[in-house]
Amino acid sequence: MINKINGTILNSFYVCKRKTWFIAHELSPDLDSPLLEIGRLIEENYYGRSEKGINLLNIKIDVILRNRQTTVVAEIKKSSKNIKPAIMQLAFYLLRLKEQGIIAIGEILIPKERRKISVSLTEELENELNEAIEDIERIIMQEKPPQMERIKFCTNCAYREFCLS
C-alpha cells in the first residue's frame, strides 16, 4: 500500500482526509477547476528554462536544480498560505530520495511572492512523516471515504462540486 502513496496524496492528508481517500481511490476531481489551471500556468510561465515535471523514482518533482555539490528538489506553489502540506510533500520526496541513497535538499518556490522556503529532512520531520504515512494507509484501506465535514479548504477544493452537491 505504501507504494500507492505519492506526493499529492501526502499533501492532501494535511488538508482533508476525505480528499486523501478520493485521490487514493483515483476519483477524478473537477478538471475544469480554475485552481488547477492557475497551478499549471504558474509552472509554465515561471520555470520555462528549468528541468520541470520530472518523474524520478516514481516521484513527480516540479523542478530539479543542481550544482556540483547539491541536488535541490523544488515544488512550485501559488502562495505561502497554508504551507504545511507543501512542506510535508517536499519532505516526503526527500525521504524517498534518501531511501535510494540520494541526499537532496528541498525548496518551495512561490513565484508570485518572490519567495523561497528551504526544507531539510530533519529527524523530527522524518518521524512526523512516517506517522502520517501510517495514518494515510489506514484511511485508504477504508471502504468508504471519511465523512464530509465542511472546512475552510472546501471553498477552493477541486472536489467541492462532488462533496457539496
Interface residue list for ligand SF4 (CB under 6 A): 16, 18-19, 22, 148, 151, 153-154, 157, 159-160, 163
Nearest-CA neighbor of 24 among 102, 139, 125? 139
Quick one: cell of 128?
Answer: 512526523
- Identify which of residues 9 and 157 has a Cβ nearer to ligand SF4 in the complex: 157
- Identify which of residues 114 and 144 has a Cβ nearer to ligand SF4 in the complex: 144
- What span, in angstroms and rounded, lies between the C-alpha atoms of 98 and 78? 27
The least distance separating ligand SF4 from the CB of residue 21, rounded to whole angstroms, comes to 9
The least distance separating ligand SF4 from the CB of residue 149, rounded to whole angstroms, comes to 6
Kindly give the residue spans of alpha helices, DSSP state H, lying in 25-80: 34-46
- Identify which of residues 35 and 151 has a Cβ nearer to ligand SF4 in the complex: 151
φ, ψ for residue 119 (rounded to 5)? -130, 125
- What span, in angstroms and rounded, lies between the C-alpha atoms of 162 and 165? 6
- What span, in angstroms and rounded, lies between the C-alpha atoms of 36 and 158? 8
The least distance separating ligand SF4 from the CB of residue 25, rounded to whole angstroms, comes to 12
- Identify which of residues 46 and 153 has a Cβ nearer to ligand SF4 in the complex: 153
- What span, in angstroms and rounded, lies between the C-alpha atoms of 96 and 73? 12
